[in-house]
A and B are shown apart, each in its own frame.
Chain A
Amino acid sequence: MENFDVIVVGGGPAGLSAAISAAKAGMKTVVIERGDYPGTKNVMGGVLYTKATEAVVPEFWQEAPLERPVVEQRYGFLSGDETILAGYRDPAWAEPPYNAHTVLRVKFDRWLAQQAEKAGVMIITETVVEDLLYKGDNVIGVRTGRAEGDLGAKVVVLAEGVNAFIAKKAGLAPQMRPDTVAVAVKEIIQLPPEKLEDRFCLEPGQGATIELFGDSTQGMMGTAFIYTNKDSLSIGAGALVEPLIRSKWTPNDLLEALKAKPYVKRLIQGGETKEYLAHMIPEGGYNAMPKLHRQGVLVVGDTAMLVNGLNREGSNLAMTSGKIAGEVAAQCIQAGDLSDQGMSLYEQRLRDSYVVKDLYKYRRLGQFFETHPHFLKVYPEIAANAMHQYFTADETPKKERQKQIVKMALEKRSKSGLISDIFGAWRAILK
């Protein structure tokens, strides 16, 4: 049985970041990936954040296969055929230091794996890790599905994604619950770059993102987005499993309904669907976060439920947690302390970083939307209605118009309900 210092289970951004930082600290490191190569099984909406990526590969934008730097983030609230828009654009985001890029994971992850190989990491593909290997209570490596498939390690980093098969077996991740995991689907729709740039009012090469709320998730807690790639769009929709089951919507129906919305239809018109992808998103947040370590094991990325759904951040939390895990693994190995206590340094550093701080800040969010469903269904309606009335020039004096709007809002939601909602939102999002 060959022995490594660090075995990383899973070749996504979290695992590869862990491997790179461990290898840079001099650790003999291997990544075991089940896909043909890292990226083939990896799916996300498609936004990669510069800061967290740069911490793993400095100046990565020089070489990495990126789609477009994001210069504009738009928010759309859909209600029936109506759309309320808000957004922010800064052309400075088209230059280093960028804020974020759109990426296609099948290309980006493969490139990141090559960077890991350059750092001295061995990457074994098409191989499934089936379990951890124990000696007494101590984890001493992993068992893969191949013949003569045991590998020894001082530290195993679990970066196996949202499914968390090994983490569950090891009691490090709870069974997934319908209210802590979302299912999302996305299509990659091919369009010529000039069309994309015209439709999104972009300079050549620049990118935009749109997050959509309201009807896009049919009032369920979920996600919907459109991102510009080089010569395609990523468009996706999804929701928590629990309301999906209850409402009998499927993620695919959500996406089809989204594509039929007047505002969206025009953006994707004439494009050809090239890829169809589906993925689970861990949305449990802070309260669903498992224990992040045990003797000889660290848990990173989606496996550790490190996703900030509100700000659609995930890849950055994954990479930051991976990087810290790689560093802590090296530190513990060098100090000769692989105990649960020694490994807790990882959790401590995550808690000191934006990763757990952000999850903690939004810890009430999931429950908030459950107890205040009006935000996802009634408020987009009220807002669209208010906008419609406000912008309609029909000779009604504005003062009277304002009164009408307030009356309409109170008909849809009582005064006390409004106050409770505002307080709840403040508590869940801003506090």
Chain B
Amino acid sequence: MHFVVCLKQVPDTSEVRIDPNTNTLMREGVPSIINPYDAHALEEAIRLKEKVGGKVTIISMGPPQAKEALKKAMSFGADRAILLSDRAFAGSDSLATAYILTVAIQKVHESEPIDIVFTGKEAIDGDTAQTGPGIAQRLGFPQLTYAIKIRNIDDVSVTVERKTEGGREVAKAQLPALITVEKELNELRYATLPNMMKAAAYEPEVWQAKSLPYDSSHMGLKGSPTSVSRIFPPPGRTGGEQLDATNDPKGAVANLVEKLFQQNIIMQHPLAKGGEA
């Protein structure tokens, strides 16, 4: 079987700061990582390859330095990595990105038919969760989003457990299909040394815009209807209320208990005995 994983290099958002004057992201010096959800997508693809045989191809769109992420991804046991990198792609929103990735996936699909496309449920830098479904729509593949378990896979279909707001849902789709994944899907592996060495020596393929039948009006800033009007850090948490208990500890405690009752943080058990009601 042929598994394709869409993978994005993202800034480690735990270390991104927002410039307080311009309200833009300060990316300088912030380490880049593989989008964590995509890492789980890759892990699942490699597990399936190990189970049913086949091949894992990674596709990413990004600047030349995204090669680092692809090389690292190769160390987990993927077979091929393609980086879509071109100035014409710069500034793409999730709509344009889905278009750019789809055209490349179609090209891969023509030479080596794909069974499943995996993506993370979202990227941690944008949190849109739109690119995966956008690709499925354009490819005409059924989509199974927020997968937390692959229950079964055979020659014609795949069955997954999905995480929904209300609980879990089991869904089955015909192959080829696209699956977006949650972190609960699997545990990431620790790469073997031979795979580390293979990855260190591997040079990802770089595809430019002109090597594919792209319509330039669908990509880059021109193909991106999204406009960001403002970026701002969420307001910091205000500290909780403090009660001064130095002079009147008993009164302060009574006051505290009353407040806890008022806010329904604690309540009296209906069968409780003693104390004042």
Contact = CB atoms under 8 A, between A and B. Distances in A.
A146 B200 contact: no
A384 B48 CA distance: 74
B191 interface: yes
Contacts of A144: 193
Interface string B68-100: 000000000000000000000000000000000
Nearest to B199: A124
A146 B191 contact: yes
B194 A148 contact: yes
B35 to A, nearest CB: 17
A358 B2 CA distance: 62
A147 B195 CA distance: 10
B201 A146 contact: no
Contacts of A123: 200
A148 B190 CA distance: 11
A148 B201 CA distance: 18
B194 A124 contact: no
Contacts of A150: 193
Interface residues of B, number: 10
B190 A146 contact: yes
A124 B197 contact: yes
Nearest to A144: B193
Contacts of A122: 197, 200-201
B200 A151 contact: no
B153 interface: no
A47 to B, nearest CB: 22
Contacts of B31: 36
A36 B31 CA distance: 10
A149 interface: yes
B42 to A, nearest CB: 16
B74 to A, nearest CB: 13
Contacts of A127: 193, 196
Contacts of B194: 2, 148
With a 10 A CB-CB cut-off, give which of A30, A123, A126 has the most chain B CB atoms: A126
Nearest to A36: B31
B193 A147 contact: yes
A148 B200 contact: no
A9 to B, nearest CB: 14
A123 B191 CA distance: 15
B24 interface: no
A150 B193 CA distance: 8
B192 interface: yes
Contacts, number: 31
B197 A146 contact: no
Interface in A136-161: 144, 146-151
Interface string A63-84: 0000000000000000000000
B196 A124 contact: yes
A234 to B, nearest CB: 16
Nearest to A122: B200
Contacts of B201: 122
B237 to A, nearest CB: 23
Contacts of B192: 146-149
A271 B117 CA distance: 49
A130 to B, nearest CB: 12
B200 A149 contact: no
B6 to A, nearest CB: 23
Contact of B197 (A2, A36, A126, A147): A2
Contacts of B190: 146-147
Contacts of B200: 122-124
Contacts of A147: 190, 192-193
Nearest to B68: A37
Nearest to A146: B193
Contacts of A126: 196
With a 10 A CB-CB cut-off, give which of A2, A126, A146, A149 has the most chain B CB atoms: A146
A144 B197 CA distance: 12
B194 to A, nearest CB: 5
A178 B217 CA distance: 68
A151 B197 CA distance: 11
B271 to A, nearest CB: 55
Contacts of B193: 124, 127, 144, 146-151
Interface string B31-51: 100000000000000000000
B184 to A, nearest CB: 24
Interface in A268-288: none
Interface string B1-39: 000000000000000000000000000000100000000
Interface string B227-246: 00000000000000000000
Contacts of A149: 192-193
Interface in B190-222: 190-194, 196-197, 200-201
A30 B198 CA distance: 13
B77 to A, nearest CB: 11
B204 to A, nearest CB: 15
Interface of A: 2, 30, 36, 122-124, 126-127, 144, 146-151
Q: What 9 pairs between A and B have smallest CB-CB spacing?
A: A146-B193, A147-B192, A149-B193, A148-B192, A122-B200, A124-B196, A148-B194, A148-B193, A144-B193
Interface of B: 31, 190-194, 196-197, 200-201
23 contacts: A2-B194, A2-B197, A30-B197, A36-B31, A122-B197, A123-B200, A124-B193, A124-B196, A124-B200, A127-B196, A144-B193, A146-B190, A146-B191, A146-B192, A146-B193, A147-B192, A147-B193, A148-B192, A148-B193, A148-B194, A149-B193, A150-B193, A151-B193
Given A2-B194, A147-B193, 7 more contacts: A36-B31, A126-B196, A127-B196, A146-B192, A147-B190, A148-B193, A149-B192
